[in-house]
Structures are given as structure tokens and as C-alpha cells.
Amino acid sequence: MHDIGDSQGNILDSIQCGNGYIADFHEFQILPNGHYFINAWESVMMDLSEKYNANPSSRVIGTIYQELDAQKNVVFQWRSLDQMSLDDFVPYALQANTFDQARGNSGFPDWDGNYIFSFPTTNEIVKVSRTTGEFIWRLGGKHNEFTFINEHPENAPNYFNFQHYAHRLPNGNLLLFDNGIRKTPAYSRAVEYELDEVNKTCKLVWEYRNNPDITTSFGGAAQRLANGNTLISWALVGSKHQRTLSEVTPNNEVVFELSLPSYLLSYRSYKFDTNMCQPVASVMLEEVLEGNNYTFNKDGKETGVKVNFERMDSFIYNFMVVKRYECPPVNCDFVGKAPVLYPMRYEITTQFIGDFKCYVSFDTKILASVKKPESAVVYYRDSIGQGKFIPVATEYDAETSELKFVAYNKFGEYVIGFPYETRQALTPKLTSPKNGENVNGTLPVQLKWSLIGYARSSDLVVATDPNFENIVKDEKGLLSSLKKYDDFEMGKTYYWKTRGENEDGKSGWSDVWSFTLKEPYIKMLRPNGGEHFVNDTTKNIIRWEKNTMDTVRIELYKGGVFHSVIRDTFFTTTNAYAWVIPKMIAEGSDYKIRVTSISKPTFSTMSENEFSIGPVGVEEDYNSGEIISIYPNPAEDEAYIDFSIKKTEHISIKLLDITGKEKVVLANKFLDKGNYRINFGTGDLTSGIYIVQLQTSKGVSTHKISVMK
């Protein structure tokens, strides 16, 4: 949770993520339009053994970015596990018990309302659409789309890595802190890039590297100051260098340094004026009359505001004050959907002027933050610092670069923005319970789904049949993508689906998933009799099925007698454990495994029959898999592959064309020793000769197949 305080340290408000997520410390911002930008991490246990030959109980860390409206409801959510594939990660990362899939460490709204995120674990900076959540571009890492210019060739291809605090500057460039821990030699720096997002070039235009080098493995930031200097936060740098901050000029002259004691840590630092958000221009004009043009620029102070009263009820001795600020309004809220808002505002007040009609213009040439004045809209509220803004009819004069509108009877506070790109809400993704899962019927059932991009609410339907003819829950306009129920019936199977909604319409329905309420149970799946576990460095997968969330103890039995503890305490939601058998375990064929709940020792399961432990056989050492036959061959619409696996391991079966190019992956999973059959469709293949390839740890088996149409 993030707290908002005043200058005296008093807590004014607190902000937490929506949809059941817990806020992380990396990012929290109040956006110019009064919305909140916040991030969270999530830890999801996944079985990566079948697809990646990795841990069957991996703890995968993903990132959530959310935008909350002024009422703290989620209007945008981006979830890395929805948008980024685990295929992006090198094999050794996937082997870890816990690994960061995409641990985001900064996020900033771009000038167009979309978002720029930094992911150090993939060495990339991305821009994503606020509307759809899709990538607009990706800079750095495996999916880099840009050509780097003026960079140091010795650092290719990852010119920056493990970076932090990537954000857009007012000049359009990208500034970031490059931790550089994967360079040789490693060093950290602040770096500014000029991006050409059309031609996809990334040009280094400025960098600062300390002498001697400082290498920061955790945190860091680079902040461009109003005077053109850059404040570099070195964050956690270890005992060798205790430099915390450096302020440097554009010519890399150091003008300020700060070092904290070694026992104090700083993740990110900022420099700001404590007397913030004062007017950059304030002009008062007296004795304002009808029919005259007035420009509120005076003594070198430019508000850029012009007014002309067509009519007014006023004393002669009136006056009018215009103030221009380069900061957004406080307590910002809007009638209807909030726009993208530029970080600036005007205050216009009068004395001794009653009802009026007035033509007003704002000169955008002096407004550095207004990037596309031709699409800009002026918004207004009559009370400064309170109330809701409403849009006013706005015209852009391209010749004078002015935004023009008409004001009636009362001035107040004005801001400039433009509407977000909009489209109908996108179809959500269901996340839990997993499809077909047997849930613990003695506890409330929590349904969770993931909204994609911009959505303001969800509809949820639960039924006792897959056609939704017998609906038991029909929820409309849910503001959270998390819903608990405690009145489902034990033993019944339920089907559920959801859809998102925003101002432009409802999405299509999600996939239909099901779950069944069961009494608490635990059941051994593997080994359950007849398996052969290898006593070398092989990871032998132990699997069980249960519907309780508790820690278990895994034990080995030999000849019906307790032998040893495999794992004393182990928590997992995938109900699987990778066991590398110690050398002390003797070979034999009379083993069983027991899995027992720690909290309830009577809640346990054991292998029904015995399995064996021993070395890889001679014939298995040569080749542990073989394609026996493919039929029909030639095939027209469908073919069957019979194959054998001589030991428990990860296998893949691929269809290749005659040149060896992969056409489709037919299987990619862990299989026990035994004979198997799979089928695949050939309807989308052109006539010709193809190769079926079976890959195991010990070799490759191939077989030709003809496809005839």
C-alpha cells in the first residue's frame, strides 16, 4: 500500500492495487488526470517440466501494472504472464526453483497516454498500448526492434542490461539508468537515447560513466533536472563504492555528490523544489473593457492567454488575473471519462465582473508539454482545486498555434488534454481455479480472471451446465476481477465465463472453464507402481493430486518399511517434486513413496505398487526412444504415430519438411517409460514427403511420412 501525505507528514490517503494484488514499492504515481499508476508482483507456481524440461514446481515471478481512476477502481491492467512468453527465457533460468519472468522496476505514461515499462530480467524497455495491452515497440533484449547508433560495440547486443527508471524526457528522448552488470567489465551509467520510432533507430546522445567505474546491481535512477543537469542515483552499490548520488552537467562535470553510510540504503532518489508548483507566470490587468483584445504577458512573464469580451456586466474599476502553472491540478476529476492530461494548468479569476461572454485563446507555442495541439481539448471547472472538469468546445488555429474557446459568466481553472484512444473492451483470460480443477468444497471458492487493456468492469456467469441453461450466478458490472462464493454445492461441477466492459462496449465471452467441489483428498499419481527412477543426476518427477493448500512431507519406503525422508517440508500448488536420487540410495525394485500433510498427518497417500531405482539400462543409454510405425502412410487427413520410450524423460516430436525445416511441434512433454500413440491432422499440409522426428536425451529417431491430397 502507498500513502499520500502532506508537507507535515500527515497521511491524507492510501492507495492499494485492485483485483486482489498487493502493491509493490517500485512504482507509484499520481497522474496529471488524477488517476493513480501502481505496480505489483505476483508469484505463480507452474509445472515447467513437460514443456521446458524444468522444475515441476517453479515459482514464477510476474509483474502487474495498473491504472486506477479517481475512485480507485482499476481501468487498465497489464499482466506480464498474459503478454510475455516463458520461451523468452534461457534454459538455465527456467531450471531455477524461483525465477523472474518479467520483474518490472519502472513504468511511466508516455505523452500519448500509452505506457513505457522497464524489465531488467529480459534487458528490455517496452511501450505498450493502454487500450489493448499489446506491445507498440520493444527496445533491447531478445525481441529488440531497434538499430543502435553511437553505442559501444563491445557491449553488443545488450548495450544496456538490468536497467532501471526508463522514462521519456520532454525533448522526446529516453533517459534510463543502465546497471550494466552483464557487461565485461561490468559498469553502471546514466544514458540518454534519441528514438526514431518510425525507422526504429536508437541513437546514444549522452551518457555518464563514473571514474572509477561504479557497478550497481540493485536499483538506480537518472533524473533530468530543470537546469539541464542529471541527478544519478547509484542506489545499492555495495561496500566498494558508497556513492549514493551524483549531479552532473550536460558536459559531465560533477557539481554535487552525496554518500550515505554503508548501513543505509537508497533504492531511488529525487531532487525537487520544496516550494513546488508555483506559477511560472502571473499577470493582472485592470479596467478590462468590452471589445478590446487583452494579452496576459507582462514584464517578461508569459501566460500566453488572450481574451476579448463580447459582452460583460462590470464596474469600470475591475481587474482580471491569469496564472499559468507547469504542474497538473490537485484533486483532479472529470465528468465522464478522464482524458490524457498535459502537466500544466491555468487559473483565471476576476473581480467586479458579472455575467459575460468572452473569447479566450491559449498560445501553445510556449507550452512545451503539449505535443499535439491540433487534437487538444480545453477542460474547465469553476472552482480552483475542487469539483469536476468538463470539456469545452475547442478550436485549434494552426496559423497562430492557439487553442480557442468561448467562456461564459464565470472563469476558474483550465487544463489541456485529449481523449484516450478507445475501443471495445477485450476478452478477459480466466486464471483460477484451473480448468477442470477439483477444488476444496469445504472452503469458499475464489474465481479470478485477468482483464486485458482498458476495461472498467466485468460480467460473470456461473452455471451447472456448459451451455449455461441453468445459471446460478449472474453478476453485472463487477469492479474487481476477483469474486468469492461460499454457497456452491459439494460434489457438483460448475462452469463459468466472464467478459469485460468499457464505455465503448462489452467484450466477447471468455473461454468456458469448469471446477468441481470435492471433499479434501490426496492421491498418489507417480510413482504408483512399475516406474523406473534413475539414480544419476536425472530429475525424477514425483506427482500427487490434492485439493488442499498445505505443506507436505515426502518419504521413501523400501520393502514396506520407512527408509528415508526425501523432503521434510515442501509447499507447492502444482503437486509435483523433482527428486535427484542421492548415491546413498541402493538399487532395488521394492520402493514406494508416501506424501503426508504436515498440518494433518492422517492426510496422506502412498504408491499403490512398488517402483524400481537403478541406473540407465544399456539399451536405454544408446537410444531411449523409437518411432515404431506411422499409419496410414501415405496420409490424407490424419495420421497416427506409435512410439516407445525406454525411460522416463522429456521428449519432443516434431514434423519437419524434406529440408529439415520445422512445420509443427506434435509433442513436447515428460513421459514415463512405455508405448504411446498420438495422432495429428494433415489437412493443412501440402502434398509431399515429411519427416517425423522423435527427440530424447539420448538421441533422435526419425520416420518418413507421405501426404497426398
pLDDT in tens, 18-29: 999 999 989 999
pLDDT for the residue numbered 334: 96
Determine the 3-state secondary structure of 223 from DSSP.
strand
Percent of all residues in the chain with a pLDDT value above 90, rounded to a whole number: 73
Q: In this predicted model, which residue has the larger pLDDT, 697 or 479?
A: 479
Q: In this predicted model, which residue has the larger pLDDT, 206 or 673?
A: 206
Among the listed residues 504, 357, 521, 342, the one whose alpha carbon sits nearest the alpha carbon of residue 421? 504
Q: Which of 465-474, 527-536, 654-663 has the lowest mean pLDDT?
A: 654-663
Mean pLDDT of the region 201-205: 98
pLDDT for the residue numbered 198: 96
pLDDT in tens, 504-544: 999 999 999 999 999 999 999 999 999 999 888 778 999 99
The angle subtended at Cα 333 by Cα 331 and Cα 339, nearest 5°, is 130
Cell 463580447 locates to 310
Residue 617 has pLDDT above 80, yes or no: no
First to last CA, the chain: 62
pLDDT for the residue numbered 276: 83
pLDDT for the residue numbered 93: 62
Cis status, amide bond into 527, omega within 30 of 0:
yes
pTM exceeds 0.75 for this model: yes
Contact status, residue 146 vs residue 135, Cβ threshold 8 Å: no
Contact status, residue 208 vs residue 187, Cβ threshold 8 Å: no
User: Could you tell me where the beta strands, DSSP code E, fall in 508-560?
Assistant: 513-518, 522-526, 532-534, 540-546, 552-558
Cell 499559468 locates to 324
Cell 528514438 locates to 195
Q: Count Cα atoms within 13 angstroms, Cβ side, for 688.
A: 11
pLDDT for the residue numbered 272: 87
User: Between the CA atoms of 120, 121, 127 and 130, what dihedral angle is there, to the nearest 10 degrees?
Assistant: -110
Q: How far apart are CA 244 and CA 264, in angstroms?
A: 10
Q: How far apart are CA 114 and CA 444, in angstroms?
A: 38
- The domains of the chain, with CATH numbers, are 1-104 (no CATH), 105-272 (2.120.10.30), 281-418 (2.60.220.30), 429-518 (2.60.40.10), 522-614 (2.60.40.10), 620-707 (2.60.40.1930)
- Beta-bridged to residue 247, according to DSSP, are 231, 256
Q: Which of 235-244, 314-323, 545-554, 698-707 has the lowest mean pLDDT?
A: 235-244
Contact status, residue 155 vs residue 183, Cβ threshold 8 Å: yes
Got the DSSP string for 667-701?
EEEEE-SEEEEEEEE-TTSPSEEEEEEEEETTEEE
Residue 621 has pLDDT above 50, yes or no: no
pLDDT in tens, 279-335: 999 999 999 999 999 999 999 999 999 999 999 999 878 999 999 999 999 999 999
Max mean pLDDT range (265-274, 312-321, 430-439): 430-439
Amino acid, res. 417: G
pLDDT in tens, 225-250: 999 999 999 987 554 557 889 999 99
pLDDT for the residue numbered 622: 46
pLDDT for the residue numbered 9: 86
Residue 395 has pLDDT above 90, yes or no: yes
